C-alpha cells in the first residue's frame, strides 16, 4: 500500500487561491477546424508549465503570512462536455475553493468532483476529493499547521457489475476484474505540526516544520469477505525551505522533505538556481533527488531547465 506521500504536497496544493478569468482563446478565424487551435493550446500548456516552475520556487510563505486579505472569499469553476455521433460520452468537473482569513488564522477548503463516461456511455470516472489547509501564526517566527485530504472513488467496487458478454474472451474479462485489485475506494489523511523560521530577512529566509499524520485507506482486496481492506498508518515528516538572494538577479532555493512510516522512508530534495536578468529574461535550473527505501533503485535524480524570453 502507498505510504503517506500526501504529506509532501498537500500544503502547497491547498494554499493557492485563484480567481476566475475568462478570455477568448481562438487563435484566428478558421483555426479550430484546421487544427491550429490545438497546437496553440499546446503552446499555452508549455508556457504555463514553465511559469509554474518559477512560481514553485517563490515559496509564498517565505516571509510570513502569504495572503493578507481578511474575511471569507473563494471561487467555483464548472465544466461540462457532452458528445454524440461517432462517440457518445460526457465529462463533468467541478472545482471550488473557500478561504477564510481571520487575524493570525488562515484556512482554506477545496473540493473537486469529476465524472466521465467512455465511448459506450458507461461511467469510467466518479471521483470526489476534498482538501483542507490551516495555518496559525503565533508571531513572525512560530506557526502551526493542519492539513487534510479525503478522496473517494465511486467505481472502485464496480467489478461485480461487469458483464462477461461485453468482452472478447473470458481472459479479457478476468483481466479487467483483476485490475480492480488494490484500487483505493477511500483515502483520507490529517496531519498537524509546528513550524519555525530560523532566518527571516530580505536576503536569507530559512524555515523548518515537522508534524505527525494519520492516513486511513480502504482498498479493493478480493481476499477479504466484503472485498475491501482497511488500513490506518502513522507517519512523521520533517521539512525545510531555504532561500538566499545573492543579488538582485540571482537567488538560490533548496527544498527538503523527509517522511518515515511503517511502510517505508521517503525523502526529496530540490536545489534551484534562479536567474532574472531582466523583466523579459529569466532562467531556472533545478536538480531534484527523490529517495524511496522500498525501491530496487532507491534514488531518482531529475535535472530541470526553464527559460523565459520576452521581446
For the chain, how long is the longest CA-to-CA vector?
A: 68
- CA distance readout (Å), 193 to 142, 186, 219, 311: 11, 24, 28, 46
Check whether 78 has a pLDDT greater than 80. Answer: yes
pTM of the model: 0.71
Which of 10, 252, 237, 249 lies closest to 134 in space, CA to CA? 10
pLDDT at 107: 92
H/E run at residue 15:
helix 10-15
Q: How many domains does the chain have?
A: 1
pLDDT at 180: 76
- CA distance readout (Å), 190 to 72, 198, 223, 263, 291: 23, 26, 28, 17, 23
Query: Three-state SS across 103-145?
Result: CCEEEEEEEEEEEEECCCCCEEEEEEEEEEEEEEECCCCEEEE
Residue 129, class by beta-carbon neighbours within 10 Å (0-12 exposed, 13-18 middle, 19+ buried)? middle
Most confident of 141-145, 262-266, 278-282: 141-145
Residue-number span of the structural domain to which 170 is assigned: 5-309
Q: Write out pLDDT tens, residues 81-103.
A: 888 877 788 899 999 999 999 98
Helix, strand, coil shares, percent, the chain, to 5: 15, 55, 30
The CATH number given to whatever domain includes residue 252 is 2.40.160
Q: What is the mean pLDDT of residues 135-162?
A: 85
Residue 262, class by beta-carbon neighbours within 10 Å (0-12 exposed, 13-18 middle, 19+ buried)? exposed
Distance, in Å, from the CA atom of 42 to the CA atom of 298, rounded to the nearest integer, reads 34
Grid coordinates given for 301: 535524480
Start-to-end C-alpha separation, the chain = 50
Helix (H, G, I), strand (E, B) or coil at 209: strand
Q: Which residue has the cell 472485498?
A: 227
Check whether 5 has a pLDDT greater than 70. Answer: no
- Report residue 265's pLDDT band, with 50, 70 and 90 as the boundaries: confident
Distance, in Å, from the CA atom of 9 to the CA atom of 63, rounded to the nearest integer, reads 20
Q: What is the mean pLDDT of residues 234-255?
A: 89
Amino acid at each position: 500500500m502507498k505510504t503517506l506521500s500526501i504529506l509532501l504536497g498537500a500544503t502547497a496544493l491547498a494554499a493557492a487561491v485563484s480567481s476566475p478569468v475568462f478570455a477568448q482563446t481562438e487563435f484566428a478565424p478558421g483555426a479550430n477546424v484546421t487544427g491550429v487551435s490545438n497546437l496553440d493550446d499546446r503552446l499555452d500548456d508549455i508556457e504555463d508549465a514553465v511559469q509554474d516552475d518559477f512560481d514553485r520556487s517563490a515559496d509564498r510563505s517565505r516571509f510570513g503570512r502569504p495572503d493578507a486579505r481578511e474575511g471569507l472569499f473563494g471561487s467555483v469553476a464548472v465544466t461540462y462536455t457532452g458528445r454524440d455521433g461517432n462517440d457518445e460520452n460526457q465529462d463533468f468537473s467541478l472545482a471550488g475553493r473557500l478561504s477564510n482569513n481571520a487575524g493570525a488564522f488562515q484556512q482554506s477548503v477545496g473540493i473537486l468532483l469529476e465524472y466521465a463516461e467512455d465511448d459506450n456511455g458507461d461511467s469510467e470516472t466518479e471521483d470526489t476529493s476534498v482538501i483542507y489547509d490551516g495555518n496559525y501564526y503565533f508571531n513572525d517566527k512560530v506557526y502551526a499547521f493542519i492539513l487534510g485530504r479525503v478522496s473517494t472513488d465511486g467505481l472502485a467496487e464496480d467489478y461485480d457489475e461487469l458483464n462477461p458478454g461485453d468482452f472478447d474472451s473470458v481472459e479479457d474479462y478476468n483481466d479487467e476484474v483483476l485490475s480492480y485489485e488494490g484500487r483505493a475506494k477511500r483515502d483520507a489523511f490529517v496531519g498537524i505540526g509546528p513550524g519555525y523560521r530560523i532566518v527571516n530577512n530580505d536576503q536569507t529566509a530559512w524555515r523548518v516544520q515537522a508534524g505527525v499524520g494519520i492516513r486511513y485507506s480502504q482498498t479493493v482486496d478480493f481476499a477479504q469477505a466484503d472485498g475491501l481492506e482497511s488500513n490506518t498508518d502513522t507517519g512523521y515528516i520533517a521539512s525545510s525551505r531555504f532561500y538566499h538572494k545573492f543579488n538582485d538577479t540571482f537567488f538560490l532555493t533548496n527544498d527538503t522533505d523527509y517522511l518515515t512510516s511503517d511502510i517505508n522512508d521517503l525523502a526529496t530534495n530540490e536545489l534551484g538556481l534562479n536567474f532574472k536578468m531582466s523583466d523579459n529574461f529569466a532562467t531556472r535550473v533545478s536538480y531534484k533527488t527523490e529517495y524511496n527505501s522500498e525501491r530496487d533503485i532507491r534514488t531518482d535524480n531529475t535535472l530541470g531547465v526553464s527559460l523565459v524570453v520576452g521581446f
